[in-house]
Amino acid sequence: MTEHFKMDAPATDRRLDDMAQGLVGAPLDRPEGPLKVSGTATYADEWQVDGLAHGVLVRAPGNSGRVVLANRNAVARMDGVLAVIDDDRLLRNPAQGTANEAPIQGPHHAAYMGQLIAVVVAESFEQARHAAQSLEVTLEGGTLMPVDPTTAAVEPQESKNLDQGDLDAAMETAAHSVDAIYTTPSHSSTPMEPHASIATWEGDDLTLRGSYQMLKYNRNELADALGIHPDRVRILSPYVGGGFGSKLGLAPEAVAASIAAKQVGRPVSVALQRPQVFEATMRRSETSQRVRLAADAEGRLTGLGHDALVSNLPGETFAEPILQASHFLYAGANRRMSMDLARVHRLCAGSVRAPGEAVGVTALENAMDELAHEIGIDPVELRRRNIPEKDPESGKDYSSRRFREALDSGAEAFGWADRPGVKERREGEWLIGYGMASAARVNVLMESQARVTLLPDGRARVETDMTDIGTGTYAILGQIAGEMLGLPRDAVDVVLGDTALPPASGSGGSWGASSSGTSVYVACQAIRRQLAERLGGEEADLTLKDGSATFDNQTRPLAEILDGDEIVKLAHLQPGDTSDAVRQATFGAYFAEVAVHAASGETRVRRMHGSFAAGRILNAKTARSQCLGGMTFGIGMALTEELAFDPRDGHVANHNLAEYHIAVNADVPQLTVELLEERDDWANPMQAKGIGELGICGAAAAITNAIFNATGVRVRDYPATLDKVIAGM
Amino acid sequence: METQLTINGTQHKLDLDPRTTLLDALRHHLGLTGSKKGCDHGQCGACTVMVNGRRINSCLTLACMHDGDEVTTIEGIGQPDNLSPLQQAFVSEDGFQCGYCTPGQICSATAMLEEIANGWPSHVTGELDASAELTTEEISERMSGNLCRCSAYPNIVEAIRKAAGGGA
Ligand code: FES
Ligand code: FES
C-alpha cells in the first residue's frame, strides 16, 4: 500500500526534533565518497558493455537552411564506420526541465549554429571521430537569421507583467532614485562531465545509461522522442558528473545513441565533445534589465520597477524568469515589472543554476547599492529598512524568513563595519573595496516517491529514481532514514538513479532534497507506525535509536521485533495548499572584499562570506558545499563568464574551457559560509528548504559592488573584465 | 601499433590505433575509467595521470608516445577500502561534489606535493631558489589546472593541506 501525503497544512509537530539518532543536520561525509575519490563510481560513459560501438555527433555550420550531407556515402565507407545517421527523430535542442515530452525534433533544417544534425557510428572512437570530422555538411537555401536579441523581433510576456500603483509618479516624487540598465551575457552550465549516453536494446526494450538530473521526466521524453512506450525505457544515472540545469531535460546525445544502437544492432555510446556542450546544450539567456528604485529621504522604497529582455529560439516557451525574487524581496507600494522575449537563432535558452534569480537578483542588488550610495547610507541598512512585513504584491505572509538575521550576522562575521569609503583604501598597486548583496530564491516542493524497506536484520534500504548530481542526495536520504528509524548511518543503503525505482522529483530548482527527502520521511513514519503497532502502542511513544526500539521502558533490538519479517513502505508526496498559502523562499546575504589593480583593472576576490537561511539543514557539510559552489559561480559571473556570440551568425566563439572562463582554484579564496538555524513549517514536514542555488542568487553583485567601493567604477555590463573596469578609472 | 605500458605496476601490451590518446587507451581499452574525460583538449585536468612520476593531461598525449613508460592512475593511488591519505582527506573535507573532476584533482595533487618537496617554484613563490611553503596560495596556484565546476576549491585546498600534514 502506498502512503500518500499532501502538504496541505504547516507541519508544526517538527517530528525530526524528537528523534534520537542525531543524524539529520550532522556534517557527515558522503557515503559514496570512497568510490568517487578512487575513480570507481561509474558515470554514464564508463559502463563496461560488450560489443560497444562509438558515435560522434556532427554540427550544423550555420543557423538556417536545409542540411545536406554531401559526402555521406564516402564517409559511410570509411574504415570501421557502421552508420551515418540523420534520422528525423534527432533532437533540434534539448528538452526543458520537467518538459515530460520530446522537444522539437528534426535534423534536416538548421535552427542555430552548432545544432547536432547527424551521428556517425563506428567500431572505435577514433574511427567515429575521424569520420564525423570528414562529413561535409552544407546548408542549402539558408539566409542569415537574427541572432542579436537587441534587434530581433520581440514577444512581450504579458502574463508575467505587473502594474501596481503608479511607478512613474513614485519616481518623479522620490527623494532619491535609481534608473539603470544592467546587462548580463549568456552563461553555460558546462558541468565537468560532458553529456553522454550508452544505449542498449534487448528486443524492444531500451536501457539508457545516461547523465541526467530528472529521470522520470527524461524517460518520458526519450520514449516520446523515439515513438515508443515509456514502459520500454529504463534510464540509469547513479552518478552524474554535475548538471547545473544542463541535464534537466533530455539532450541530443541520448536520442542519437538510442537510434544508432537500434540501427546497428549493438550498444552505442555517444558523448558530447566539450565544444558541443557549449554549442548544443542549454545556455542561460543573456539579459538586459532596467531597474528603477524610488525612495524617500530615509531610504524607504516607494517604488520598484524591473523590466527585462531575454531571448530564446523560435518555438521554445522558456523565458529566463528574471523577476521571480523581485516580486517579494523588497517593499515598495508602486511596482511595475515586465518581460520581453526576443526570438534569436542562438542555441536553446534554458535553466542554468538558479534560472531567474542568479541574474535577476544580481541586477536588483546592484541597483540597491547605487541607491545606498546616492542616499549616503550603509547598504546593509538600506536592505534592513526595506524588508516588507508581508509579500508586497499578494499581501501573503512569509513562511519563514531569517533575512534580517542573515544581513546582520553576515555583516558581523565579515567585519563589514570596517568598510572603507569609495576609493579610500589602497595597498600598493591594489585598490581595496568591500561590497555586499542580498540573496533570495523561491522555494518549491515537487511530487516525489520513495520506497523504504526495514530489513529483517535491522538494516534499511531507501530506493527512489532520485539523482545525486553532487548535491549530496546519497548522504541526506540515508541521514533522514537513519534518523527516523534509529539506525546508524552505515546501516542504511541508498539506491538511486534508476527509473525502475519509484519516481522522484529529480534534481533541479533546489527542490530535490526537500521533495525526495520528504518522501523518505513519510515512508519512515509509516514504518514507525507499523513497529509501534507490533509493540501494541503509539508511534509517538516509540524511541528508535542504534537499531533498537524503546517503548514502555523496554528496549529491544529491531531485528527481534521484526522476527524475520521486513517492513516495506512506498510513500508518495504531493505538494498541497501550503505552496500558495504563503510566500516561501530562502534568503541570505553575501559580503566580498576585492582588490582591483590600479594599472590593469584586474579584480581579485580576496574574501567572500555568505550567511544563508534555508530552513532545516539536512547535512551541514554538503549544504555548505552547495553554497561554496553557488558563490563560486557568482565569482565567475561577476568577473569572467560570458558566452561570446559571433554577431553575424550566432556562432559561439569561445566554445571551450580555455576560452569560456569558469573560476579556477586560484580565483577563489577560502570562502566562508554560515548556515542559520531555521525551521519552515510550511515547506514540508522536515521544515527544510532548498539550498542548491541560493549561493548564486545575487553573489555576483556583492563583487561588482565591491569593485565600485574600491574604484568608484560602476560596471553595469557583466562580466566586469579588466577593460570595463579600467575604462572607468 | 604495439605499445607497452606499465600501469599501476602491471605491464600491458596494447595494439592500438595510433590516434588513440593515453586517456582513451585507459578508458576504452583497459577499463580504467577512473581517469575522466572532461574536455579532451587539455583544458580541464580531469584526465590527469602521472607518467614516470610527473602529472600530465592524458587526453593531450597519444598512447603510442609512451612505450615503456610507467603510468599511475587514480586506481593505483588507492581503492575504496584502501584510500591514500589524500583520498581520505578529500572525503572528510568534502573536496568534491559530483566527483567527476576528483580523480584528476587527486592525481594532480599527489604529484604537486612531490613538486613542492623537490623545491620547484611556482608563479606565486616569492624566491625562485627558496623552497616553497605549502600555503593556501601555493596550493591554489598549483592546482589551477584542475577545473571543478562544482567549485569545491576551498575544500580541495583544505584536503591537500590536511593530507600533507600542513595543519591549519
Ligand atoms: S580531459 Fe584532458 S584536460 Fe580535460
Ligand atoms: S566535484 Fe564536480 S566538478 Fe569537481
In the predicted structure, residue A151 carries a pLDDT above the cut 50? yes
Q: What number does the ligand 2 atom closest to the CA of B38 have?
A: 3
- Beta carbons within 10 angstroms of residue A701's beta carbon: 31
**Interatomic CA distance for residues A161 and B82, integer angstroms:** 59
Cell numbers that stand for A460 in this block: 534499511
A residues 205-244 closer than 8 Å to B (CB): 239-244
User: Dihedral of the CA atoms A220, A225, A227, A230 (nearest 10)?
Assistant: -20
Please, what is the average pLDDT of chain A? 98
What is the helix (H) or strand (E) element at residue A462, kind and residue range?
A: strand A460-463
**Interatomic CA distance for residues A440 and A693, integer angstroms:** 9
> Coil, strand, or helix at residue A446?
coil
Contact state of B150 with A39 under an 8 Å Cβ cutoff = no
Nearest beta carbon to residue A40 from set B44, B80, B96: B80
Rounded to the nearest angstrom, the distance between the alpha carbon of A469 and the centre of ligand 2 is 10
Span A262-270, average pLDDT: 98
- The widest CA-to-CA distance across chain A, in whole angstroms, is 83
Question: pLDDT per residue over A169-196, tens digit each?
Answer: 999 999 999 999 999 999 999 999 999 9
Q: Does B15 contact chain A (CB < 8 Å)?
A: no
Q: Which CATH fold would you assign to the domain A356-444+581-728?
A: Aldehyde Oxidoreductase; domain 4 (3.30.365)
CA distances (Å), origin A689, targets A441, A463, A569: 10, 22, 24
What's the confidence (pLDDT) of residue B168? Answer: 39
Question: pLDDT per residue over A598-614, tens digit each?
Answer: 999 999 999 999 999 99
* Domains annotated on chain B, with CATH: 2-73 (3.10.20.30), 85-163 (1.10.150.120)
Nearest beta carbon to residue B144 from set A125, A658, A664: A664
**Interatomic CA distance for residues A591 and A407, integer angstroms:** 9
Least confident of A137-151, A473-487, B31-45: A137-151
Q: Which residues line ligand 2 (CB under 6 A)?
A: A 192, 242, 470; B 96-102, 148-150, 152
Q: Does A499 contact chain B (CB < 8 Å)?
A: no
**Interatomic CA distance for residues A664 and B101, integer angstroms:** 12
Q: DSSP letter string over A109-176?
A: B-SSTT-EEEEEEESSHHHHHHHHHH--EEEES--PPP--TTTS-EEE-GGG-EEES-HHHHHHH-SE
Which of the listed CATH numbers 3.30.365.10, 3.30.930.10, 3.40.980.10, 3.10.25.10 matches domain A2-41+449-575?
Answer: 3.30.365.10
Q: Does B54 contact chain A (CB < 8 Å)?
A: no
What's the confidence (pLDDT) of residue B132? Answer: 78
CA distances (Å), origin A593, targets A419, A515, A603, B153: 9, 36, 10, 18
**Residues of A noted as catalytic:** 693
* Interface with chain A: mutation pick from B35, B92, B150, highest number of A CBs within 10 Å: B150
Closest of A408, A129, A178, A181 to residue A294, by C-alpha:
A178
Q: Identify the residue whose C-alpha is closest to ligand 2 atom 3.
A: B148
What's the confidence (pLDDT) of residue B166? Answer: 54
**Interatomic CA distance for residues A208 and A229, integer angstroms:** 14
What's the confidence (pLDDT) of residue B165? Answer: 84
In the predicted structure, residue A1 carries a pLDDT above the cut 90? no
Cis amide prior to A107 (ω within 30 degrees): no
Question: pLDDT per residue over A554-602, tens digit each?
Answer: 999 999 999 999 999 999 999 999 999 999 999 999 999 999 999 999 9
Contact state of B100 with A471 under an 8 Å Cβ cutoff = no
- The nearest alpha carbon in chain A to B106 belongs to A37
Q: How far is B18 from chain A (nearest CA, A)?
A: 9
Q: Is the CB of B40 under 6 A from ligand 1?
A: yes
Domain with CATH 3.30.365.10 in chain A: 2-41+449-575, 356-444+581-728
In the predicted structure, residue A10 carries a pLDDT above the cut 70? yes
**Predicted confidence pLDDT, tens digits, chain B (168 residues):** 899 999 999 999 999 999 999 999 999 999 999 999 999 999 999 999 999 999 999 999 999 999 999 999 999 999 999 999 999 999 999 999 999 999 999 999 999 999 999 999 999 998 877 777 899 999 999 999 999 999 999 999 999 999 998 543
Rounded to the nearest angstrom, the distance between the alpha carbon of B106 and the centre of ligand 1 is 14
* In chain A, % of residues over pLDDT 90: 99
Residue pairs spanning A and B at CB distance below 8 A:
196
Q: Which residues contact B47 (CB under 8 A, 6 or more apart)?
A: B23, B35, B36, B37, B38, B40, B57, B58, B59, B60, B104
Of all ligands present, the nearest one to the C-alpha of B153 is 2
- Helix H, strand E, coil C: the string for B29-45 is HCCCCCCCCCCCCCCCC
What's the confidence (pLDDT) of residue B167? Answer: 44
* Interface with chain B: mutation pick from A40, A192, A268, A672, highest number of B CBs within 10 Å: A192
What's the confidence (pLDDT) of residue A519? Answer: 98
Q: Does A622 contact chain B (CB < 8 Å)?
A: yes
> Coil, strand, or helix at residue A290?
strand
